[in-house]
Structure 1
Amino acid sequence: MILSMLSPDLQLGKVPPPSQNGVELGSSDAWTPQSWRKRPAIAQEIEYKEPLALEEVLRTVASLPPLVSPVKVELARKHFAAAARGEAFIIQGGDCAESFQDVRPLIVQQKVQLLHEQSRLISDSLGLPVITVGRIAGQYAKPRSCPFETLADGSQVYSFRGENVNGFHPDDRTPDPNRLLQAYFHSRATLDLMKACPPLLTPPSVDAIASPGRDLFRTNILGEPGQGAIFTSHEALHLPYESAVTHGRYNTSATFVWIGERTRQRNGPHIEYVRGIRNPIGIKVGPTMRPQELVDLLDIILQPQDRHDTQDGRVTIITRLGADQVETVLPPLIHAVRKAGHTPVWMCDPCHGNTKVTPSGIKTRCVETIVREVIRTFEVHRANGSFMGGLHLEQTGEFVTECVDAWDTYCERDLTTNYRSLCDPRLSYIQALAVVRSFLDHVRCSTSKAHGL
């Protein structure tokens, strides 16, 4: 069924030449993987000192085999559509910014095991198939509020933009195009390590799930043998790289890509890029997003790509509002999207809107606050006849000390015990499971009360 939707070349994994990459959409403008270059100045642009070296690296990247097959992208679209209809739930988690040094068997295995355990908990509790998505195998680019960083001695260096751009150490901040090639091969190595991870000992039983979407997941919830059913994802930030790995209408570097708060300008190059690819697309939505602005973005992205195309679930709206703003900001967004006739996946990111900086300058987050945003988001959706279809967490399978359990009990000194993140703080293995369990406990209790139990 899925294979029949692909061209013969893409079924065989062949890459079409650039001349075949033009795609006519509903807009009067033809889309290609490079059409974003015609848009106004790119947000979060990287300035390379040797543009010719960058182009050479991009040509090399474009010639390499896909990291993700078009078949898997089409499968993900079907799964995400189920989540949009309330027939499945998505758990997405992983590093804020991946590190090349962390492409090691133990660390990758810990990330995979955490996602599997979260999936099992959600499936057992909600009685729904679970779509498991990792911020993994490609989350190497990061947006920054300022292109430069001032060091303690007063000198300025380029801000750290992720390991596919420059190094974390201040002496290694000059953008290096060769890092894009390193990112490709580290992503490939991560995928290989994911395949080698042992299967979950007690995987969720699809047959035990009473859901309209059950048949869709029966043969695919555990993915290909040894692959563990984890779709990969990252922010589609570095457009030169993203377009180099785009063949036809498929971004072959990840199954699911998202656009961040800083790059979602409706006439900007990032929106132009994602409107033409078939991958499921996420849009990060913060508290400044206006309802009509969100509808306008959906109208642009959700132009039919062919006569028989269904757009349900093609876009995932990832709200990152902050625990104290959910009840005010979210309802108008839900109503505007419904009135416009769109059926997206609604996902909650309770991490980014709840980041604080300690007196000594350490970024951290509080588990209690994160849980509060998840629960409030769930309740707002339920009160407004909507469905929260996913949870998006910055986390790691390691026992890091980057987030605190509660503000009234934390000691700032404890954060430095094992703070390893290259950027924003991540939930530890125990904390990430605690967030999921707290959410599920709330769902169980609220459901019991609703039924008078």
Structure 2
Amino acid sequence: MSSTHLLRAAMAAHQPEWYSLDLLRTVLGELAGRPGLVRPAACATLRGELSRAGRGEAFVVQAGDCAERFADASSGTTRRKIDQFDALTARSVAAGGIPVVRIGRIAGQYAKPRSTPTEQLADGRSVPVYRGDAVNGERPDPADRRADPARLLDAYDRSADVLDVLDGHAVGGGEPVWSSHEALLLEYEESLVRPDREGGRLGSSGHLLWVGDRTRQLDHAHVDFLRSVRNPVAVKIGPSVAPGDVTALVRALDPQHETGRLTLIARMGRDRVREHLDRVLAELGERARDVVWLVDPMHGNTLVNRAGQKTRVVGDMVDEIDDAAGVLSTHGCLLAGVHLETTPDPVAECVATHEDLVARSPLPEYRSACDPRLGPTQAATVVEHAARAARRTRTI
């Protein structure tokens, strides 16, 4: 076990190399004594809403930042994100004809898995890669990129700030926006486990917790963590997943066949979704109907333009949505929703067509801390398209 981890590090990939084990122990002890960020009753309510979506009675829009920044955990920024959900909800209801379950990548999406542990700067220096504000700073400076356990306390505080605004909005009569994030930092997640109403374990860091395509292995500590908590949980599955492994994940994470417990988020890519999703569904058989199916049309379609920026093509996204919906309906399953990286800011991080990739000039207003996000108009277009595609799976 690495000297810079405390919990199950031998089985957990994409964990930071914290600079101080003593400070990490102190921080985790502090977090363990704080109130849970979300309540068991709220998680149970969301589980019921996801069950409705799995039956075709609601449509899930899960959307928000690729990587949240601490600096954006203000009431004003959070309200703008709620306003974007209001706009997306209106477009979805008009296109799909059913209520919307609104789940944000919000109030906890402060850590990201990265492909490499370091990055090389233009001046030839190598520094640790930015892993999200819960781990280190975005500024390419060795001191700022040090994995600092004290940032976990900031992650808790900023999540609490955002949740206060979301709760106030719901109490004031607004449609709720539920919180979700990738449960990546296991030491943080474990420190915030609290008892649920039935004596089980609740991951109190967020309403819905997911593991990504890089940490979904059955013998992996991240899957063990999801198995141990009673939240609604999700797993992202990419084109490399073996169909048998998906079946094993469904059995492990939803042994009681409880619709609303487990969401699978397919992120195969436009050119691969038909073949790979078909194989997964064929292997699952009847068990495929126990799962809430979302499509993430972004992560399998990341490209690099001629200016060297990561970007995504909106046309690829709508094609993947259509293909995923078609494959699901062939197997008697419903497309229950869509998972997107979005921002209410007027950014230019994604493009409309492949022709837009050839320009040598960098995209203007590219502000993402990690991956390219959809701006407001683009997000509305994709959500409306997804709602229509989902409607078709309910009528076939």
TM-score (norm 1): 0.80
Residue 437 of structure 1: CA displacement? 2.4
1:366 to 294, 313, 322: 313
Other-structure match for 2:31:
61
Other-structure match for 2:383:
436
Other-structure match for 1:186:
158
> Residues 114 and 397 of structure 1 are in contact (CA less than 8 Å); yes or no, is this contact kept in structure 2?
yes
CA 1:39 to 1:139, structure 2 compared with 1: closer, same or farther past 3 Å? Answer: closer
The answer on 1:258 being equivalent to 2:205 is: no
Other-structure match for 2:296:
349
1:134-170 Cα deviation digits (max 9, x unpaired): 0001100100111111222222211111000000011
2:135 to 160, 165, 178: 165
1:119-146 Cα deviation digits (max 9, x unpaired): 2222233232221100001100100111
Q: Within 5 A, what are the aligned runs for 1:102-141?
A: 102-141=72-111
CA 1:242 to 1:227, structure 2 compared with 1: closer, same or farther past 3 Å? Answer: farther
The answer on 1:82 being equivalent to 2:52 is: yes
> Residues 264 and 270 of structure 1 are in contact (CA less than 8 Å); yes or no, is this contact kept in structure 2?
yes
Residue 303 of structure 1: CA displacement? 3.4
Other-structure match for 1:13:
none
Q: What is the root-mean-square deviation in Å for CA atoms of aligned residues?
A: 2.2
Please state whether the residue corresponding to 2:178 is helix, strand or coil: strand
1:10-54 Cα deviation digits (max 9, x unpaired): xxxxxxxxxxxxxxxxxxxxxxxxxx9457431112111211101
Q: Which runs of 5+ in 2 are unaligned?
A: 1-5, 196-200
The answer on 1:229 being equivalent to 2:199 is: no
For residues 129 and 386 of structure 1, what CA distance do their matches in structure 2 show?
A: 19
1:354-410 Cα deviation digits (max 9, x unpaired): 000123321101111111111111122122211011100000111101111122246
Q: Within 5 A, what are the aligned runs for 1:19-418?
A: 37-38=7-8, 40-171=10-141, 172-195=144-167, 223-226=170-173, 228-248=175-195, 249-304=201-256, 311-340=258-287, 343-409=290-356, 412=359, 415-418=362-365
TM-score (norm 2): 0.91
Other-structure match for 1:209:
none
Please state whether the residue corresponding to 1:408 is helix, strand or coil: helix
Q: Which runs of 5+ in 1 are unaligned?
A: 1-35, 198-222, 305-309
Larger deviation, residues 102-111 vs 234-243: 102-111
How many residue pairs align between the two structures? 384
For residues 407 and 359 of structure 1, what CA distance do their matches in structure 2 show?
A: 11
> Residues 403 and 415 of structure 1 are in contact (CA less than 8 Å); yes or no, is this contact kept in structure 2?
no
1:26-84 Cα deviation digits (max 9, x unpaired): xxxxxxxxxx9457431112111211101111111121122111100111111112222
**Once the two structures are aligned, what percentage of the paired residues are identical?**
38
Point out the structure with max Rg over C-alpha: 1
